[in-house]
C-alpha cells in the first residue's frame, strides 16, 4: 500500500487523492515531529504567562476578550470542539472527510499550529485505521475554517460523537477508537482551535474535482470529435496553425486532442449529397475554444490549489521567531473563487455537448441521419428522451454555476462579518462534476450510434476503438427501442472511470 510521509512543507494533490480515495497510509516524518514539539514549547511558554494570548488563554471569535484561567483551559478546548460540531443535513462522502482530515493534519505538521506531536499521531492513526467521522452537509461558511466539518472530525479524536468504521458501519467514536487501540486525545491550550481553523474541506474537494475534470475534459474532446464525425463535419478548423494565432494553451490542447481522434477518418468532410458546407455550427466548430477555456480555468485552479497545499492555515499561528500572531489566512476566498469558476466552465462544457447531441437527433440538421437516431422513426423514439435527460442535467448545471462566493452572511456577533462560502462552492461543484460526466455520456451514446448509422463510410481508427470499447462496456448500438436507462448508466460509468480516454489513447497515444 502506498504511504504518504508528512513533512513540514506541504503535500501534493496526488497525495490527497491517494489518502482520500485509495486509503494510502500516513506517516509523520522526524522533521514534522521535531517541528511539532518546537512549536508546542512556544505555546506552553505563552500559556504560562499572565498576559492573554488569543486562542491560548482567551475565548474565541466574539468571545476573545475573556481571559481564561489555567484550570479552565482544557475545558475550553473541549467545549469549542463540542459546540462547533453543529453540522446538519446528509452525511458528507467518505473521501471528502478523509481529505479534510488529511489536509488538517498536513497543516498541523507544518509546526505553525502549536499542536502536540501525540495529537498529530492520533490523527494519522484514525485515518490509517479507516475510521471516518460523521460530517454533515451544512455548517461551514468557508471562513475561520470549515468549522463544523472539522469540529466533527476533532470530536472523533476526543472519542465522542459518531464515526464510520472500515466496515462501513456507523458506531460511537469511542468504541471505534478502542477497537483499534487508539487512545482519545485530551486537548490542551490552542489545540481545539487549531484542529478547526482551516480551508481543508473546500481544498480537498477542489483537488478531487480537478482530478475528475482532467478525465472529463479529455472525454469531452473525444465525444466532440465523435460528434463531428457523425455530423460529417470538417476537421480543417482543428488545424494547429489556426489555434496558434489565438494562443490560449487550453484551446490548442483541445484542438490537438480532437485532431488526434479524427486522424484517418473517412467521415469528416464527406458532406451529404456532395454539397459542401462552408461552416459547421458553433457547437461543432467552436468545441476547442469552449473546452479550451475550461482547461485554462483548470490550470488557474491548480495553481491556487498548489499554493494552498503549501500553506499553513491557522489562527493564530506560531512563527519561527517565537511569536504567536493572529491573522486572516483562514479566509477561503482564493479557493472559493476557483471552485465557482470551475462550476461555470463545467456548465458551459455540458451546454455545448448537449447542443451537439440535439443536432445529431434532429433530421433537419444532422445531414442525413434518421430522426432521433431511431431504427424506425415513429414506431421507435430513438434517443429523444435521452436528450431530455441531458437537457435537464444541463439546466441544473446552469443553476449550479451561480457563484456561492459572491454571497456572505455575517456571523459571530459581526466579528466574522465577511465569509467566503467556499464549502458551499465546493459542494455544488461536486454535483456539477457528476452531472458533467452524465452529459458527456449521453453525447458519447448519441455520437457512436450516429457514426454506426453512416453506412459505407469508415470512421477514424481511434473512433472505432472507442465504439468497440463502449460496446464491450455494455452500451448497445443502433436498433429498435429498448430500456435506455441501463445503457446510459453503463455509458456514464465508462466515461467517469476513464474507460473512454483509455480506449482512445491506446490508438492516439497520450492526450493533452
Cβ contact 166:129 at 8 Å? yes
Which of 54, 138, 388, 445 is flagged as catalytic?
A: 54
Cα 77 from Cα 68, distance rounded (Å): 11
Mode of pairing for the β-strands spanning 324-325 and 317-318: antiparallel
What share of residues in the chain are helix, strand, coil (percent, to 5)?
55, 5, 35
The enclosing H or E element of 88 equals strand 88-91
Cα 158 from Cα 161, distance rounded (Å): 9
Cα-to-chain-centroid distance, residue 109: 24
In 3D, which of 54, 143, 134 has the Cα closest to residue 86?
A: 134
- How would DSSP label each residue in 23-40? --EEEE-HHHHHHHHHHH
Cα 138 from Cα 92, distance rounded (Å): 9
Cβ contact 313:145 at 8 Å? yes
Q: Is 138 a catalytic residue?
A: no
Total Cβ atoms within 10 A of residue 506? 13
Cβ contact 363:371 at 8 Å? yes
Longest dimension (CA), the chain: 90
Residue 318, beta-bridge partner list: 324
Total Cβ atoms within 10 A of residue 118? 13
In 3D, which of 109, 142, 139 has the Cα closest to residue 4?
A: 109
b/e code 307-320 from CB counts within 10 Å (16+ = b): ebbebbbbbbbbee
Total Cβ atoms within 10 A of residue 366? 22
- Phi, psi values for residue 346, rounded to 5°: -65, -40
In 3D, which of 323, 104, 121 has the Cα closest to residue 193?
A: 104
How far CA 459 is from CA of 264, 361, 490, in Å, comes to 8, 19, 23
Cβ contact 394:446 at 8 Å? no
Cα-to-chain-centroid distance, residue 211: 7
Cα 43 from Cα 399, distance rounded (Å): 47
Cell of 124: 494519522
Cβ contact 101:123 at 8 Å? yes
- Which residues are designated catalytic? 54
Amino acid at each position: 500500500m502506498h504511504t504518504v510521509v508528512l513533512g513540514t512543507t506541504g503535500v501534493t494533490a496526488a497525495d490527497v487523492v491517494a489518502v482520500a480515495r485509495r486509503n494510502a497510509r500516513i506517516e509523520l516524518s522526524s522533521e514534522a515531529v521535531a517541528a511539532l514539539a518546537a512549536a508546542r514549547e512556544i505555546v506552553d511558554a505563552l500559556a504560562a504567562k499572565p498576559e492573554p494570548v488569543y486562542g491560548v488563554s482567551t475565548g474565541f471569535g466574539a468571545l476573545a476578550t475573556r481571559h481564561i484561567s489555567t484550570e479552565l483551559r482544557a475545558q475550553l478546548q473541549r467545549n469549542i470542539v463540542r459546540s462547533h460540531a453543529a453540522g446538519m443535513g446528509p452525511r458528507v462522502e467518505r473521501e471528502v472527510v478523509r481529505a479534510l482530515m488529511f489536509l488538517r493534519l498536513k497543516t498541523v505538521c507544518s509546526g505553525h499550529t502549536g499542536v502536540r506531536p501525540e495529537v498529530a499521531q492520533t490523527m494519522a492513526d484514525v485515518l490509517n485505521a479507516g475510521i471516518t467521522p460523521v460530517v454533515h452537509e451544512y455548517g461551514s461558511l468557508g471562513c475561520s475554517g470549515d468549522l463544523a466539518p472539522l469540529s466533527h472530525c476533532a470530536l472523533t479524536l476526543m472519542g465522542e460523537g459518531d464515526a464510520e468504521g472500515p466496515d462501513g458501519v456507523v458506531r460511537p467514536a469511542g468504541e471505534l477508537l478502542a477497537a483499534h487501540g487508539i487512545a482519545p486525545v485530551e486537548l490542551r491550550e490552542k489545540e481545539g482551535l487549531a484542529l478547526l481553523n482551516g480551508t481543508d474541506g473546500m481544498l480537498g474537494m477542489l483537488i478531487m474535482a480537478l482530478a475528475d475534470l482532467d478525465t472529463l475534459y479529455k472525454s469531452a474532446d473525444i465525444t466532440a470529435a465523435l460528434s463531428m464525425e457523425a455530423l460529417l463535419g470538417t476537421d480543417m478548423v482543428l488545424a494547429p496553425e489556426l489555434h496558434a494565432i489565438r494562443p490560449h494553451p487550453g484551446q490548442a490542447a483541445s484542438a490537438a486532442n480532437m485532431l488526434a481522434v479524427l486522424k484517418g477518418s473517412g467521415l469528416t468532410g464527406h458532406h451529404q449529397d456532395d454539397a459542401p458546407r462552408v461552416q459547421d455550427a458553433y457547437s461543432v466548430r467552436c468545441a476547442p475554444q469552449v473546452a479550451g477555456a475550461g482547461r485554462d480555468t483548470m490550470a488557474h485552479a491548480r495553481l491556487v490549489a498548489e499554493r494552498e497545499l503549501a500553506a499553513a492555515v491557522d489562527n493564530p499561528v506560531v512563527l519561527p521567531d517565537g511569536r504567536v500572531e493572529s491573522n486572516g489566512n483562514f479566509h477561503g476566498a482564493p479557493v472559493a473563487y476557483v471552485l465557482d469558476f470551475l462550476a461555470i466552465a463545467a456548465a458551459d462544457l455540458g451546454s455545448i455537448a448537449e447542443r451537439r447531441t440535439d443536432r445529431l437527433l434532429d433530421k433537419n440538421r444532422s445531414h442525413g441521419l434518421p430522426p432521433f437516431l431511431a431504427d424506425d422513426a415513429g414506431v421507435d423514439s430513438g434517443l429523444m428522451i435521452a436528450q431530455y435527460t441531458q437537457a435537464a442535467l444541463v439546466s441544473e448545471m446552469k443553476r449550479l454555476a451561480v457563484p456561492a462566493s459572491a454571497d456572505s452572511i455575517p456571523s459571530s456577533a459581526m466579528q466574522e462579518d465577511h465569509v467566503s462560502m467556499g464549502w458551499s462552492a465546493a459542494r455544488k461543484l461536486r454535483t456539477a462534476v457528476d452531472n458533467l460526466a452524465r452529459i458527456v455520456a449521453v453525447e458519447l451514446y448519441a455520437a457512436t450510434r450516429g457514426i454506426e448509422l453512416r453506412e459505407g463510410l469508415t470512421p477514424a481508427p481511434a473512433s472505432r476503438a472507442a465504439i468497440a470499447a463502449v460496446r464491450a462496456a455494455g452500451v448497445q448500438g443502433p436498433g429498435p427501442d429498448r430500456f435506455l436507462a441501463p445503457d446510459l448508466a453503463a455509458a456514464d460509468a465508462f466515461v467517469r472511470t476513464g474507460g473512454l480516454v483509455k480506449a482512445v489513447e491506446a490508438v492516439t497515444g497520450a492526450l493533452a
